[in-house]
Amino acid sequence: MIKNLVLLLSDMKGFTERTCHQTREENARMLALHDELLLPVLRGFSGRKLRGMGDALLASFDSPTDAVLCAMAMQDRLAGWNLRAPIEDRIEVRLALSQGEVRRQRRELHGEALQELLRAESLADAGEVLLTDAVYLSMNKSEAATEILTDEPLPAGGRLRVRRALRGPDPGAPYGGRALARLGRLPDPARSVRLRLLVDSGLDLLRRRAVWAACILLLLAAGLGERVPARDPLQRAAELVHAREPLAALAELDHLANTDRANAAAVQVVRGKAEHAAGQLGLAFADFAAAARQDPGALDDTAVEALADELDSETFPPVWKRALVKLLGEKVGRRSAPAVRRLLDSPRADSRDSALLVLELSGAASGADRLQAARAALADPHASCASQKAAVRRLTLVNDPQADQLLAAWHGECGASEARDALRHRTTRLASH
């Protein structure tokens, strides 16, 4: 199969030298820390991990802009981590991006884009983000300033131009931190590594103790002509989410990272639920949205409830709020109505307005919904002038005596004249009939 993809390649600076001077356990912890720092960022920008090769990570994207933003967010996250981490836990990587037709054959990748990626990565230094001209020409150039690093001939003909994303003066966020901020709060990598290593250690102990029992079970099953079914990581992860163990669920889903199921809608929904439960709201939304693009029906009631909760959250990345409203209103549609209606009484004006917009987009909004949202806005002492005026406008569209009562009772500085005009027009209209 041939696809046009954006490829990302990263590798760790000084990896070989460090592994020569560290114990096996220290090497395992370093690689686990590398994954916990970078993989949540990769998922947050809809990247797909194609392969992990020790300290190297190969991933793909459909969007060149997402790929560049992801690379900058990765470097910003590592820079912030390295400022506060002890020396032995600091990680520096080189990052390169290329774009073009890629052929996948027997789980191996082939194509000119891969060769250009390897060449660009060989030019990168720690902390840098390099991209080929193919990526630059396709991306939204307002998202990242770049400079030409090299323009060299290719052995087979043609030229390869490589650009470098420009860095700022902040050592904790050399790429400005804007891309990283879009993901909201990310999990503490040190805590995730401790949990992951603890789980792996426990599983290893259980495996050693259970080896004879497993052999006996297999022999019994073979004698009965039956097979012992392996536990499906997706099923196990769903059970862990239900048991309120989201980090363990995410660790279970990592077992699917290098399989064809890694980006299946069902896997993304369970991952989104786990991320939501862990407070990773930006990542959860990204996974829910990716699942809905494949199959809107994959979002069950629990996932829709989680999305509605993000709509009411103060920590959800504001830059994605419009996309969240569109997902609930257009992709999920009327199924989102029960979950978002409860937000019409939210103490937060933004949540009320967003909930009503979702209902309008889905075609599920009723006069009662508009009345409820307007009543809450006019009763809110902290509501802005714009919110109060919007509430009055909504009341003018509601044909209900309660709406007339609210308009007549409203004497605030914002919207009072509109309320009087609306009542006068209604009185004139009724008199003419």
Verify that 211 and 151 share a domain, yes or no.
no
User: Distance between CA 383 and CA 387 in Å, rounded?
Assistant: 6
Q: How many residues does the chain have?
A: 433
Residue-level pLDDT at 207? 45
Q: Is residue 413 part of a domain?
A: yes
Same domain, yes or no: 202 and 245: no
Rounded distance between C-alpha atoms, residue 377 and residue 392, angstroms: 9
Domains in the chain: how many in total?
4
Who's near 57: CB < 8 A, 6+ residues apart?
A: 8, 9, 10, 11, 34, 38, 42, 49, 51
pLDDT score recorded for residue 431:
58
Burial 121-144, CB ≥16 within 10 A → b, else e:
bebbeebbbbbbbbbbebbeeeeb
* Tokens 């806005």 belong to residue: 377
Per-residue model confidence as pLDDT tens for the chain (433 residues): 678 999 999 988 888 778 777 787 788 888 888 988 999 999 999 999 888 776 788 999 999 999 999 999 999 999 999 999 898 889 999 999 999 988 876 566 778 888 899 899 989 999 999 999 999 999 999 999 999 999 988 766 778 999 999 999 999 999 999 999 998 888 787 776 666 555 555 444 444 554 445 545 554 555 544 444 557 889 998 999 888 888 888 888 888 877 888 888 999 999 999 888 887 787 788 889 889 988 989 999 999 999 999 988 877 777 778 889 999 999 999 999 999 999 888 888 888 889 888 998 999 988 888 888 878 877 777 777 877 777 777 777 777 777 777 777 777 777 677 777 767 776 666 555 5
The pLDDT of residue 91: 92
DSSP label at 429?
H
Verify that 280 and 428 share a domain, yes or no: no
Domain assignment present for residue 372? The answer is no
Tokens at residue 74, please?
A: 């990765």
Residue in this structure with the two tokens 């003066």, named with its chain if needed? 169
Q: Are residues 217 and 238 in the same domain?
A: no
Rounded Cα gap, residues 150 and 160, in angstroms: 8
Percent of the chain with pLDDT over 90: 33
The answer to the question of residue 371 being in a domain is: no
Question: 268 and 284: one domain?
Answer: yes
**Contacting residues for 332 by C-beta, under 8 A, at least 6 apart:** 292, 296, 299, 304, 307, 362
Report yes or no on 370 lying in a domain: no
Q: Are 242 and 356 members of one domain?
A: yes
Residue 16 shares a structural domain with residue 94: yes
Same domain, 168 and 301: no
* pLDDT of the residue at 210: 45
Domain end: 158, 184, 210, which one? 184
Evaluate whether 127 touches 174 at the Cβ level (below 8 Å): yes
Q: How many CA atoms lie within 13 A of 303 on its CB side?
A: 29
Question: Looking at the domain assignment, is residue 399 inside a domain?
Answer: yes
Domain that holds residue 208: 188-229
Q: Is residue 373 part of a domain?
A: no
Is residue 178 assigned to a domain? yes
Distance of CA 395 to the CA centre of its chain: 37
Residue 247 lies in a domain: yes
Query: What per-residue confidence (pLDDT) applies to 205?
Result: 46
* pTM attached to this predicted model: 0.54
**DSSP, residue by residue, 223-261:** HTT---PPPPHHHHHHHHHHTT-HHHHHHHHGGGTTSTT
Nearest one of 338, 295, 337, 343 to 316, comparing CA atoms: 343
Q: Which residues contact 188 (CB under 8 A, 6 or more apart)?
A: none
Residue 216's CB: how many other CB atoms inside 10 A? 10
Same domain, 65 and 140: yes
CATH number for the domain spanning 75: value is 3.30.70.1230
Angstrom distance (rounded) from CA 289 to CA 265? 10
167 and 219 in a common domain: no
* Residue 396 to residues 309, 316, 370, 384, 421, Cα–Cα distance (Å): 29, 32, 10, 19, 10
Residues 9 and 91 in one domain: yes
Q: Are residues 153 and 116 in the same domain?
A: yes
pLDDT of residue 192: 65
SS3 128: coil
